[in-house]
Structure 1
Amino acid sequence: MTERSVQDRSIAELVQDLSDQVRRLVRDEMRLATDELRRKGKRAGRGAGLAGFAGVMALYGGLTLVATAVIALGLVLPLWLSALVIGVVLLLIGGAAGMAGRHSIKTATPPLPREAAEGVVKDVKAVRGHE
């Protein structure tokens, strides 16, 4: 079947063709977007897995360093006392980090965009001519 030239076709036929082409274009773009998101999701999943593995390895490395510190301090103190000293130091560091985190969370709450809301109020007043 040979297609008629654009000049020989009615407006209804041209609009129908345009509608079909737009529909096909949107469907193809959605398929491309889905494929791209799938590829990126796989890559992100692989990256998250590697990051988790790195975190576990860092934890093991940190624990090994803590054991090394206990053993090293055990050369000058009884081993139980060196373990106690290292444990207390780690608890103090953890407590300080927890307090700093708590303070940071308190200053970030409530999670409302106050500056943006104030800006909107100012913009509305300016548009109305009140400012």
Structure 2
Amino acid sequence: MTPQQSTVATVTEEEPTIGRLVADASRDISSLIQNEIALAKSELKVSVKAGGTGAGLFAGAAFVGVLAIIMLSVAFAYFLHMTGLDLAWCFLIVFGAYLLIAALLGFLGMKKVKQVRAPERAIHQAQETKTLLQRK
């Protein structure tokens, strides 16, 4: 073997083929994607767990808030009773106040719902785009 042939043989043994490089790259990319998916899954697990705990705590807070409103209503009725009104009338007054508040909130809610409109400009723009694309 001549020195030139031994150099060519060494270079060929050290340099991988294009096929091997492509196979290695695709294997590495596949491994990278799988690892990124596993990382995303583990992060989502933690986030979902924290979100579920947070939602449960909000539900507990809402329940305690409802209990507080009930107790406040009873206290308000008893304060009215201290004016000399019969207790039944006091509770009826509190009930009426809540009906008025509910009616007011319902009325305001209906006004806001009636303001909801379709996204006319976006629909018009989409129709124009569709028309332009159909011409080509």
Q: Which bracket does the TM-score occupy, shorter chain normalised? A: 0.7 to 0.9
Partner of 1:93: 101
Structure 1 unmatched runs, 5+:
none
Higher RCO structure (Cα 8 Å, ≥6 apart):
2
Aligned-pair identity (%): 26
Aligned with residue 114 of structure 1, among 120, 125, 128: 120
Q: Taking structure 1 as reference, are residues 6 and 104 closer, same or farther at Cα in structure 2, changes over 3 Å only?
A: farther
Aligned residues, how many? 120
Structure 2 unmatched runs, 5+:
1-11
Q: Which amino acid aligns with 1:75?
A: M
TM-score by structure 2 length?
Answer: 0.78
1:104 counterpart = 2:112:
yes
Greater gyration radius: 2
1:11 counterpart = 2:18:
yes
Superposed counterparts of 1:1-131, under 5 Å: 8-76=15-83, 77-109=85-117, 112-118=118-124, 124=129
Which stretches of structure 1, 4 residues or more, deviate above 2 A after TM superposition?
112-122
CA distance in 2 between partners of 1:99 and 1:35 (Å): 46
Structural RMSD (CA): 2.4
